[in-house]
Structure 1
Amino acid sequence: MQLANKKLDWDQFLQIRQEVINSWPTGQEADLADGVAYQAQLPAKLRFAEKLEQAKQEGITLAQPRAGVALVHEHIELLRYLVDEGGADLLPTTIDSYTRQNRYNEAQAGIEESRTVGRSMLNGFPAVNHGLAACRQVVEAMSVPVQVRHGTPDARLLAEITLAGGFTAYEGGGISYNIPYAKDVPLERSIRDWQYVDRLVGYYEEQGISINREPFGPLTGTLVPPSISHSVAIVEALLAAEQGVRSITVGYGQCGNLIQDVAAIRSLEELAEEYLNRFGYQDVVLTTVFHQWMGGFPQDESKAFGVISWGAATAALAKATKVIVKTPHEAMGVPTKEANAAGIRATKQVLNMLKDQTMPETKELAAEVELIKAETRSILDRLLEFGEGDVAVGAVRAFQAGIIDVPFAPSRYNAGKILPARDYRGAVRLLDFGNLPFSEEIKDVHREKIGQRGKLEGRDPSFQMVIDDIYAIGKGMLVGKPR
């Protein structure tokens, strides 16, 4: 099957579907008609897309944590705790690493070991192994909507089971859940597999069931320039919309500079609307998500709360529709439910304090918005040129040519030539542009700002700046200045 950004033929979809649902025994439980009927009877309070749309209309920011454990009853207990004690507005079901790699035998072994030792031996919820009834048990036990969050290049079976199981939102995409997560998965294959997922979501939409889809915004999570993550998010939004998805949340991971982060969320929403309209997808409900800092955290809990609160403040001032919340245990591994709830409470306090405040309009903010837009359009327009107007073909060719390049990604299908570093105010710029199709005018902005930092720090811009910046927040700073 030749790759193209074209809605999958339904007979072709059904043919692929037989192979998907036969790949693990619980796949047989996923019946399309039954899944639609189950979704249709869910109350409005459990519908993710509706809650996001309402938040957007009201101009408020919702708080959503990450969470997932191996056993059903413990997972339910954890999620309930995050609502009752943390005040979460939206819930996740984070999927375990074995399931993300379609290693269901090992996930089953993790379930059995968890039952034996009495605690979770997996870093998430193995939804495929637990199957349809368990997913519905989780959904029915909640008072707020639940989303599937994972990191899976081939998420087709997981989507079949969890959507039929009543989850009303699904994270990921063929680029954002491949390039940052896998080494040897061809991009063409993962885009095709995610076209299947989006066609499934589109089918539910055709039956009157709106499932929210969210490309994974932060990518590798550390020092990712906004134009890179924006380009991936918009490509994945276009791919999803072609398959019939009508509720899309585009995301961005916090970089740390307030002006740049607010400009990023603002430009992301405007650009996504622009490109969706350009390709005729005018009936999409578009919302935004801001991810609190995804890099290294301080080990000290009080300092960690400072990082969390800064992320909450930025999300509120940027007017993101939701914010993904981190915990004060980020530097120490999987957090306790108490730590997770504490991160949500800290976030909610800041969100509530700032919900009626807006970011002042300044020349600096406007300039940053325009810079991000110019960079993103440069990438996307060249991508479309490479794909001869087809965004799916263009994405594969653009990664081959380094037109899109994700810093620090493990994938061998990523060029890995660009080199980001902070400027003297902490905004993420580029030391090395690789093959990004930026104009000399754009490149000069980056060179000037990093050059200013070099002068202030008494050193030439170099790879050492990158290293210093990666570890800076964990050491209590934003910009990695030399001692």
Structure 2
Amino acid sequence: MDLTVRQMDADEFQRQRQEVLGQWQTGKDVVFEEAVAYQKSLPKSKVFAEKLAEGKEKGMTFAQPRAGVALLNEHIELLRFLQDEGGADFLPSTIDSYTRQNRYTEAQAGIEESVMIGRSMLNGFPAVNHGVAACRQVIESVQVPVQVRHGTPDARLLAEITIAGGFTDFEGGGISYNIPYSKDVSIESTIKYWQYVDRLIGLYEEQGVKINREPFGPLTGTLVPPSISHAVAVIEGVLAVAQGVRSLTLGYGQCGNLIQDVAALHTLPVLAEEYLAKLGLPKVMITTVFHQWMGGFPQDEAKAFGVISWGAATAALGKATKVIVKTPHEALGIPTKEANAAGIRTTKQILTMLKDQTLPMTEELALEEEMILAETRGILDRVLDLGEGDAAVGTVRAFQAGVIDVPFAPSRYNAGKILPARDTSGAVRLLDFGNIPFDKRIKEFHRERIAQRGRDENRDPSFQMVIDDIYAIGKGMLVGRPRG
């Protein structure tokens, strides 16, 4: 199959489908027509797209945690606790690492070991191994919509089983679940894998079933410039809509500077709508998701709650449709259900207090929005030029040329030439632009902002700033200032 943004050929989809459903024994239980009927039987209160649309209309910000364990009953117990004690508006099923790498035999061994030991020996819920019926038990055991969260380069079988199982939201994308997660998987292959996922969801959509799609926004963490994550989000949105997706939630990860983060949340849907229209694609429902701090956390719980609260405040003021919640145990490993619920309650308290407040459009906020729009358009227009109008082809060529470049990513298909650092106010700028197609004005803006930090700290801008910024939050700061 040649790479193209165009909708997947029906024969090619069916050919792949036979192969995909044969990858693990639970694939035999997926029957499309029956799965459509099951999805249609779900109440609207359990349909992600319906609840997101309501939230967007009312200007609400919903809270959703991350969570997942190996065994079905324990997973259900965990989700119920986060719903009842945490007050989660949406629930996740975070998938285990073996399933993310399509290593189902090892996932099965993890399930069996978990049964023997009496506690989860996997870092998530192995949905493929549990199968369609077990997934439906999860859906039927809670009152709110449930999303599949994972990190899988090839998520075709996972999508088949979980959507047939009643999940109404599927996270990820061919760039965002490859470049930050994998070393040797080509972008062309993951775009094709995810076109299958999106075409599957398009087929459900054609039967009247709404499945929301949510590309993963944060990429490699808290030092990704908004224009880089926006470009990836818009491309993944374009690729999804081309395959028939009609409900799209675009993500952005907290960088830490309030003005920059709010500007990013304001501009993301603007850019998505602009490029969907530019490429002649249908108008779809677009919502936003904000990820609380994706970097290192303080070990002290009280300080961790401070980081969580700052993320909640930013989501509320930026009017994100949804916020992904962190826990006070981030620095310690997998959180207890009590800690997870506490993070949700903390977040919801802030969201409630700030729901009627907005940031005024100051000169600084307007400038930040202007720069994010200009930077992202520069990248996206170059992607389309490289692909001669085809976003899929252009994306592969853009990574080859370093036109899209994700900082600190492990993938050998990523140039890894750009170098981000914070300016004196904590906003993320670029020390080294690599081959990112920024014009002279944009580059001068970045250089001056970082130079001002250098003057404030009495040192020359350098890689040491980047190192200092990475460790700053664990020391109670956002900007990595030198001691003294």
Q: Same fold judged by TM-score > 0.5?
A: yes
Matched, 1:61 2:61: yes
**Aligned twin of 1:460:** 460
**Aligned twin of 1:232:** 232
**Aligned twin of 2:193:** 193
Letter in 2 for 1:83: Q
**Aligned twin of 2:79:** 79
1:306-345 per-residue CA deviation (whole Å, 9 max, x = no partner) reads 0000000000000000000000000011000000000000
**Aligned twin of 2:51:** 51
Question: Could you tell me how far apart the structure 2 residues matched to 1:283 and 1:415 are?
Answer: 33
Question: Shift in Å at residue 145 of structure 1?
Answer: 0.1
**Aligned twin of 1:480:** 480
1:274-298 per-residue CA deviation (whole Å, 9 max, x = no partner) reads 1112122333100000000000000
Letter in 2 for 1:4: T
Give 1:334-483 correspondences, 5 Å limit: 334-483=334-483
Question: Could you tell me how far apart the structure 1 residues matched to 2:464 and 2:107 are?
Answer: 40
Question: Could you tell me how far apart the structure 2 residues matched to 1:31 and 1:160 are?
Answer: 9
Give the secondary structure class of the aligned counterpart of 1:192: helix
Check the 8 A contact 2:67/2:79 in 1, yes or no: yes
Letter in 1 for 2:280: G
Question: Could you tell me how far apart the structure 2 residues matched to 1:266 and 1:180 are?
Answer: 24
1:357-408 per-residue CA deviation (whole Å, 9 max, x = no partner) reads 1111101000000000000000000000000000000000000000000000
Question: Could you tell me how far apart the structure 2 residues matched to 1:240 and 1:80 are?
Answer: 31
**Aligned twin of 2:209:** 209
Which of 202-211 and 3-12 deviates more? 3-12
Question: Could you tell me how far apart the structure 1 residues matched to 2:11 and 2:282 are?
Answer: 26
Question: Shift in Å at residue 100 of structure 1?
Answer: 0.2
Letter in 2 for 1:462: S
Question: Could you tell me how far apart the structure 2 residues matched to 1:434 and 1:103 are?
Answer: 36
Question: Could you tell me how far apart the structure 2 residues matched to 1:464 and 1:106 are?
Answer: 41
Question: Could you tell me how far apart the structure 2 residues matched to 1:85 and 1:472 are?
Answer: 32
Question: Shift in Å at residue 173 of structure 1?
Answer: 0.3
**Aligned twin of 2:311:** 311
Question: Could you tell me how far apart the structure 2 residues matched to 1:266 and 1:272 are?
Answer: 11
Question: Could you tell me how far apart the structure 1 residues matched to 2:6 and 2:201 are?
Answer: 15
Give the secondary structure class of the aligned counterpart of 1:148: strand
Percent identity of paired positions between Structure 1 and Structure 2: 75
Question: Could you tell me how far apart the structure 2 residues matched to 1:143 and 1:281 are?
Answer: 34
Question: Shift in Å at residue 137 of structure 1?
Answer: 0.4
Give 1:98-247 correspondences, 5 Å limit: 98-247=98-247
1:416-475 per-residue CA deviation (whole Å, 9 max, x = no partner) reads 000000000000000000000000110000000000000110110000000000111111
Number of residues of Structure 1 aligned to a counterpart in Structure 2: 483
Question: Could you tell me how far apart the structure 1 residues matched to 2:33 and 2:11 are?
Answer: 16
Please give the TM-score of this superposition, normalised by the length of structure 2: 0.99
Give the secondary structure class of the aligned counterpart of 1:351: helix
Letter in 1 for 2:468: D
Question: Could you tell me how far apart the structure 2 residues matched to 1:158 and 1:30 are?
Answer: 11
Letter in 2 for 1:183: K
Question: Shift in Å at residue 221 of structure 1?
Answer: 1.1
Give the secondary structure class of the aligned counterpart of 2:409: coil
Check the 8 A contact 2:253/2:292 in 1, yes or no: yes
Question: Shift in Å at residue 230 of structure 1?
Answer: 0.2
Question: Could you tell me how far apart the structure 2 residues matched to 1:267 and 1:75 are?
Answer: 37
Question: Could you tell me how far apart the structure 2 residues matched to 1:232 and 1:188 are?
Answer: 14
Q: Structure 2: where are the runs of 5+ without partners?
A: none
Question: Could you tell me how far apart the structure 1 residues matched to 2:31 and 2:403 are?
Answer: 41
Question: Could you tell me how far apart the structure 2 residues matched to 1:161 and 1:4 are?
Answer: 26
Question: Could you tell me how far apart the structure 2 residues matched to 1:116 and 1:251 are?
Answer: 39
Give the secondary structure class of the aligned counterpart of 2:331: helix
1:248-277 per-residue CA deviation (whole Å, 9 max, x = no partner) reads 000100000000000000011111111112
Question: Could you tell me how far apart the structure 2 residues matched to 1:264 and 1:400 are?
Answer: 26
Give the secondary structure class of the aligned counterpart of 2:38: helix
Give the secondary structure class of the aligned counterpart of 1:63: strand
Question: Could you tell me how far apart the structure 2 residues matched to 1:361 and 1:179 are?
Answer: 35
Give the secondary structure class of the aligned counterpart of 2:121: coil
Give the secondary structure class of the aligned counterpart of 2:5: coil
Question: Shift in Å at residue 222 of structure 1?
Answer: 2.8
Check the 8 A contact 2:176/2:215 in 1, yes or no: yes
1:38-77 per-residue CA deviation (whole Å, 9 max, x = no partner) reads 1010011100000001000000100000000000000000
Shift >6 Å, 4+ stretches: none
Letter in 1 for 2:427: A
Question: Could you tell me how far apart the structure 1 residues matched to 2:368 and 2:306 are?
Answer: 25
Question: Could you tell me how far apart the structure 2 residues matched to 1:262 and 1:156 are?
Answer: 34
**Aligned twin of 1:269:** 269
Question: Could you tell me how far apart the structure 2 residues matched to 1:340 and 1:62 are?
Answer: 16
Instruction: Calculate the aligned-residue CA RMSD, in Å.
Output: 0.5
Q: Structure 1: where are the runs of 5+ without partners?
A: none
Question: Could you tell me how far apart the structure 2 residues matched to 1:10 and 1:207 are?
Answer: 15
Letter in 1 for 2:131: G
Question: Could you tell me how far apart the structure 1 residues matched to 2:221 and 2:248 are?
Answer: 21
Letter in 2 for 1:459: R
Check the 8 A contact 2:93/2:147 in 1, yes or no: yes
Matched, 1:13 2:13: yes
**Aligned twin of 1:92:** 92
Letter in 2 for 1:77: E
